[in-house]
Chain A
Amino acid sequence: MKEQIPAIQTEALARIAGANDERSLEEVRVGVLGKKGTLTLAAAGMKDVPKEDKAAVGQLLNAARTAITSALEEKQAALQDTADQAALAGIDATLPARAVATGALHPLTQIRDEAIGILRRMGFALADGPEIEDEFHCFDALNTPADHPARNEKDTFYFDSGKLLRTHTSSVQIRTMETAKPPVRIIAPGSAYRRDEIDATHLSVFNQLEGLYVATDVSLPDLKGTLEYFLHELFGPQTEVRFRPHFFPFTEPSFEIDVKLTVKGQAPRWIEVAGCGMVDPAVFESVNASRKDNAFDPDQVTGFAFGMGLDRLAMIRWGIKDIRLLIENDVRFLRQFA
């Protein structure tokens, strides 16, 4: 026995060293330490060892088992290490990504959401109204006389019913005031329609954002502060803003708003972005007549309204040269907004 055990140890260590994979290593373990393994059998022979030798043989056995077990563990770790390295070798992280379908929000949605986000921070709530409107809400109530140039079949889409496609989102001002009471502080994004041939700068269906604030003591300083703040948020705090006197039937006084913008490679220039004004008292009177009360008494309340073209804002923001790109939905265009 004293010779046999070191021999088993030597042979086992040699086989462990020679094992090239987990399976052959496991074979060695079973062959040596398993139920019928050489060392196990040798240990079973202890009962035949003379008493005086038992201690010495026992020590030999223990030493052999310790040596073999740790050699197995080391070899196991080494093999795992090799396998891990092999698993990582040959992976080229510089190859392109797996392809995933990309999508994007339409630029119009993006600019609208940005504008709405700013105005909501300023305390405006959303409102809407029908796109198939009647003449009262689109024109009459907005102080636009029956023979006004916009009110003809050349410029406005009419239906046989006498209704029309709203030419501006300003009709939502009337719709809102008919059901609400002051204070009214709303914005209304939506489509509007004009009988314009579609070309690089015109769409027959376009998108506007309307705003209205009516309360006691709303004044020109409120209009100016609100729109300046809004435009500074949208175009940057340094942006110059100017208010040019203008004319709209439903506001008085009325202004158009320009911002001074620099398009790449060009000198800064004034670009018209919105129209606005103080709500004409005649509009309040129409609303009162429609409501059959005096909730919007022009002697008690004042207000301002504003409107802007969202398609135009998108074109300005991203330097879009042809408005038709906004309705053609070419993926090569849309992808840029992902």
Chain B
Amino acid sequence: MNVSLNWLSTHLDLGGKSIKEIDDLLTFAGVEVEGIETKGIVSEKIVVAQIKEAVQHPNADKLKVTQVDAGEGQLRQIVCGAKNYQVGDKVPCCLPGAELPGGFTIGETKMRGVESKGMLAAAVEIGLPAGEDGLLILPEDFPIGKPVKELFESDVLLELEVTPNRPDLLSHFGMARELATLLKTPLQPLDIPTRSTTPAADITLEAPDACPLYTAVKITGVTVKESPAWLQQRLESIGLRPINNIVDVTNFVLHELGQPLHAFDLAKLSGGIVVRHAKDGETFTALDESEHALTPDDLLISDNSGAALAMGGVMGGLHSGVTETTTDILLESAYFTPQGIRRTSRRTALTSDSSYRFERGVDPQGVLPASALAVKLILETAGGSAEESTQVAGEAPGLTKPVALDTAKLDQLMGGSISLTDAEEILTRLGLEKLADGTWNVPSFRDDLQRHIDLVEEIARVHGLDNVPSRFLGAFVPASPVDLAYDADMILRRRLAALGLYECQTIKLISDAEMVDALPLRPLVDGDVIRVKLPLSEDHAVMRPSIVPGLVTSAARNVRQQAKSLRFFEMGRVFRNAGGGKAKDQESETLALLVGGATAPAAWNQKERQADLYDLKAVIQAIVPNIPIRFLPRERDGFALGCDIKAGDQNIGVFARLKPARERELDFTSPVFAAELDLTKLRKLLAGIDHVEDLPQFPGSSRDAAMEVPATLPNADIENVLLKLGEPLLESFECFDVFADPSGEKLAADRKSVAYRFHYREPSRTLKAEEVDAAHQKALDALTQKLGVKFR
């Protein structure tokens, strides 16, 4: 809301308060000051000066050297380029040190070799409305040497954000009332004549639920014309465009008192006013020419013929308003309920200064005074005559009731920082009144004060948190399961960062196009994907069922920025239904990894190597070093090389490479691998050991074996045979070489040679060579029997 400081000053004396003080005052009253704009001249150093002489500049055709009298006892030399003045004219002179709009400060300078001690100014240069080209020629009677500031009106425009619980502040009078309370300054009483009222003859109130009070005044014989200067200036001071005297008066009263009004052209009315709900499907064309299909929940102001004149409290109709030919008007002032206005305004997406106030709640007791002020101003500015009494239908709802202040609770909440006397003094200043039974009567404009806690809030707000002591106490609380999960996640994150991966943060709403990269732990079926109803754009329409799409998008973006190494991870929630939508809105947490491109930057002693599957596998193994990680191939739609990831004998996630076609589509020039891991399971794997194992006291022995197997035999088959062997002396084994020869020269092309090293140990003694040999032979025999391998 825009507030003019000059306008505000018509209600209270702000003398002596700097803009900074008013800013602080409002801020600590709970009104956010979003902008302060100074209008008019600010600097004292812009003074009236008379031009005494003007001669041609010796070095510049377009400049003159002037001597001016700025009331300093001696003439001042200023170089000037304007042409519109004559010697003897009075003009604004900016003395050295004068600050101009835009933060520019005038100094003494030389222009083309001639000294210039200041600047003669045009209107726009000193912050006045732009006038004719050249210097601002001032009236002859302006005294030389006087600051120009004092001769022109200046103002400060405050852009204020009022919280939704304080509609009483949405006017100049309301804001002044609040400031007067805070400043303990008297508020100028409003000069509004009291008008008599009469039960309405011409108003039918069919919808008292949405409009409990409707008043109207007929004014006949008005002349619609431009508003007087003072009224135009008021509206312009808060950024409103003057339209005509009638409309301007209603706008003025809205911003003066916070009560929206509406003026109808009586000639366009057929009979009296009917306040009714709209018929289902009834259409309405608003003032802004927008068309709206209405529902019975919307409120209409219509005439006896049924023609809709206005959407009550929201916007007038296109054809019922005041125009230049209007002579008779009907002035509406009413109370519309906030709920109804909110629903209509939301449904039709129509908002106005009126709906803004009605939906927050206006003062029911302010309806008649606002009408009376408007009638007075219309008669003053447009002539005509008003009917004797204001027509009133319905009655002002009583929205406030006495509220009890629980002093013990007040004391507890405030930590004893305010005395009861001071607290009561604050309530009194705010316009509340202590009743005989100890409860507090609340003024009609503060219907936000309904409960004890609302009074406490007012006391705390005015008292200020500065005056409340700080206390440092707290209950002891045990760590929660969320704490434990958080700690595990931070360990994982730090390990991954140390392994050379960057943590990402991607938006959890993804696009359908990105869904092709989704790698959820369990494949999705129809109905498993969760979509928001009204996405902002196609890019953010689906709740991510997997983090991999976000990482792929991030990787693609980095590739476009010439990144060579793609090593990313992200942890967080994923969302899906399950069983084709049978189980809804499941949220779980996963860790996603993406590896591709260079494993590390190239260096003088190191060639760049493109990451392969085993690089990503290494990352997973490294975050849980003591649990063997195995990949078991299982196809994944839309991906290549799909695998289940096993930690020990537990499935913990899925792995895949993007399909080469997808990689090309995204301009990846080397393979990109991704994995998505179940974070709940990973956290458990971080649990660590219960007790430490004794170090071996006796040496072990190793045996190597190279076996020839079909090229297609997965390594996992060999591992499985050895794991199931149950040979107690076989402590561990590892593959240390895989050899294949596609040319078929050293080995048939459909065969490969896989070399393993076997470690044998007996914890309690040193093994004899024969024992090792026997155990080793058992391993080799098992491999021969189960897989038909040949040893080389």
Residues of A bordering B, CB below 8 Å: 95-106, 108-109, 113, 116, 120, 122-128, 130-132, 147, 149, 152-154, 157-161, 163, 165, 183, 185-186, 191, 193, 195-198, 203-205, 213, 215, 217, 219-222, 224-226, 228-229, 242-247, 252-255, 278, 280-281, 302, 326-332, 334-335, 338
**Could you say which residues of chain A place their CB within 8 Å of the CB of B575?**
131-132
Alpha-carbon separation in the docked complex, A158 to B479 (Å)? 34
Q: Verify B471–A252 contact, CB threshold 8 A.
A: no
Q: Verify A106–B474 contact, CB threshold 8 A.
A: no
Instruction: Answer yes or no: B769 CB below 8 A from chain A CBs.
Output: no
List the 10 closest A-B pairs by CB distance, nearest first: A101-B500, A245-B30, A247-B163, A225-B470, A221-B415, A221-B471, A183-B475, A243-B465, A329-B554, A126-B482
**Could you say which residues of chain B place their CB within 8 Å of the CB of A163?**
585
What residue in chain A is nearest B456 (Cβ atoms)? A253
The CB with the most chain B CB atoms within 10 A, among A100, A113, A120, A147, is that of A147
**Could you say which residues of chain A place their CB within 8 Å of the CB of B490?**
113
Alpha-carbon separation in the docked complex, A196 to B587 (Å)? 23
Q: Which segment, of B62-70, B146-154, B556-564, faces chain A?
A: B556-564
A114 → chain B closest CB, angstroms:
12
Q: How large is the interface on B (under 10, 10 to 19, 20 to 34, 35 or more residues)?
A: 35 or more
Q: Verify B346–A330 contact, CB threshold 8 A.
A: no
The CB with the most chain B CB atoms within 10 A, among A186, A217, A220, is that of A220
**Could you say which residues of chain B place their CB within 8 Å of the CB of A122?**
474
B578 → chain A closest CB, angstroms:
14
A250 → chain B closest CB, angstroms:
12
A332 → chain B closest CB, angstroms:
7
What residue in chain B is nearest A228 (Cβ atoms)? B470
B653 → chain A closest CB, angstroms:
20
Q: Verify A226–B472 contact, CB threshold 8 A.
A: yes
B323 → chain A closest CB, angstroms:
34
Q: Verify A125–B482 contact, CB threshold 8 A.
A: yes
- Say which residue of B486, B493, B508 sits within 8 Å of A191 (CB atoms): B508
- Say which residue of A113, A132, A195, A226 sits within 8 Å of B530 (CB atoms): A132
**Could you say which residues of chain B place their CB within 8 Å of the CB of A224?**
465, 468-471
Chain B 480-507 per-residue mask, 1 if CB under 8 angstroms from chain A, else 0: 1011001000100110111111111111
Instruction: Answer yes or no: B343 CB below 8 A from chain A CBs.
Output: yes
**Could you say which residues of chain B place their CB within 8 Å of the CB of A255?**
465
Q: Verify A281–B451 contact, CB threshold 8 A.
A: yes
Q: Which segment, of B74-82, B597-605, B632-640, faces chain A?
A: B597-605
Alpha-carbon separation in the docked complex, A120 to B483 (Å)? 10
Q: Verify A330–B557 contact, CB threshold 8 A.
A: yes
Instruction: Answer yes or no: B166 CB below 8 A from chain A CBs.
Output: yes
Instruction: Answer yes or no: B697 CB below 8 A from chain A CBs.
Output: no
Q: Verify A302–B554 contact, CB threshold 8 A.
A: no
Instruction: Answer yes or no: B284 CB below 8 A from chain A CBs.
Output: no
Q: Verify B505–A104 contact, CB threshold 8 A.
A: no
B565 → chain A closest CB, angstroms:
6
Known pairs A221-B417, A247-B165; A99 contacts B601 (CB<8 A) = yes
Q: Verify B461–A245 contact, CB threshold 8 A.
A: yes
Known pairs A105-B493, A109-B503, A157-B533; A220 contacts B30 (CB<8 A) = no
**Could you say which residues of chain A place their CB within 8 Å of the CB of B453?**
252, 278, 280-281
**Could you say which residues of chain B place their CB within 8 Å of the CB of A101?**
499-501, 565, 567, 599-601
Alpha-carbon separation in the docked complex, A81 to B501 (Å)? 44
**Could you say which residues of chain A place their CB within 8 Å of the CB of B414?**
219-220
Known pairs A103-B500, A122-B474; A220 contacts B413 (CB<8 A) = yes
B361 → chain A closest CB, angstroms:
12
- Say which residue of A125, A158, A217, A327 sits within 8 Å of B412 (CB atoms): A217
Q: Verify B509–A205 contact, CB threshold 8 A.
A: yes
Known pairs A101-B500, A221-B470, A245-B461; A332 contacts B561 (CB<8 A) = yes
Alpha-carbon separation in the docked complex, A331 to B569 (Å)? 12
**Could you say which residues of chain B place their CB within 8 Å of the CB of A105?**
493-494, 497, 503
B604 → chain A closest CB, angstroms:
6
Known pairs A105-B497, A108-B505; A158 contacts B474 (CB<8 A) = no
Q: Which positions 511-534 of chain B face chain A at CB distance < 8 Å?
A: 530-534
What residue in chain B is nearest A214 (Cβ atoms)? B475
Alpha-carbon separation in the docked complex, A254 to B453 (Å)? 11
**Could you say which residues of chain B place their CB within 8 Å of the CB of A245?**
28-30, 460-461
Q: Verify B558–A329 contact, CB threshold 8 A.
A: yes
- Say which residue of B164, B540, B600 sits within 8 Å of A149 (CB atoms): B164
**Could you say which residues of chain A place their CB within 8 Å of the CB of B468?**
220-221, 224
Q: Verify B585–A128 contact, CB threshold 8 A.
A: no
Q: Verify A147–B343 contact, CB threshold 8 A.
A: yes
Q: Verify A99–B477 contact, CB threshold 8 A.
A: no
**Could you say which residues of chain B place their CB within 8 Å of the CB of A154?**
346
Instruction: Answer yes or no: B750 CB below 8 A from chain A CBs.
Output: no
Q: Verify A153–B475 contact, CB threshold 8 A.
A: no
Alpha-carbon separation in the docked complex, A273 to B249 (Å)? 42
- Say which residue of A99, A196, A327 sits within 8 Å of B606 (CB atoms): A99
**Could you say which residues of chain A place their CB within 8 Å of the CB of B451?**
281
**Could you say which residues of chain B place their CB within 8 Å of the CB of A219?**
412-415, 471
Known pairs A221-B415, A247-B30, A329-B504; A95 contacts B604 (CB<8 A) = yes
Q: Verify A331–B558 contact, CB threshold 8 A.
A: yes
Q: Verify A126–B483 contact, CB threshold 8 A.
A: yes
Alpha-carbon separation in the docked complex, A281 to B452 (Å)? 10
- Say which residue of B30, B469, B557, B568 sits within 8 Å of A246 (CB atoms): B30
What residue in chain A is nearest B166 (Cβ atoms)? A247
Alpha-carbon separation in the docked complex, A154 to B349 (Å)? 10
Q: Verify B474–A329 contact, CB threshold 8 A.
A: no
Chain B 1-45 per-residue mask, 1 if CB under 8 angstroms from chain A, else 0: 000000000000000000000000001111010000000000000
| A-B contact list, 21 entries, CB within 8 Å | A95-B605, A97-B603, A101-B499, A101-B567, A101-B599, A106-B504, A109-B505, A125-B480, A159-B585, A161-B584, A163-B585, A186-B480, A203-B507, A213-B474, A220-B465, A222-B471, A243-B466, A252-B456, A326-B505, A329-B502, A329-B568
**Could you say which residues of chain B place their CB within 8 Å of the CB of A330?**
557-558, 561
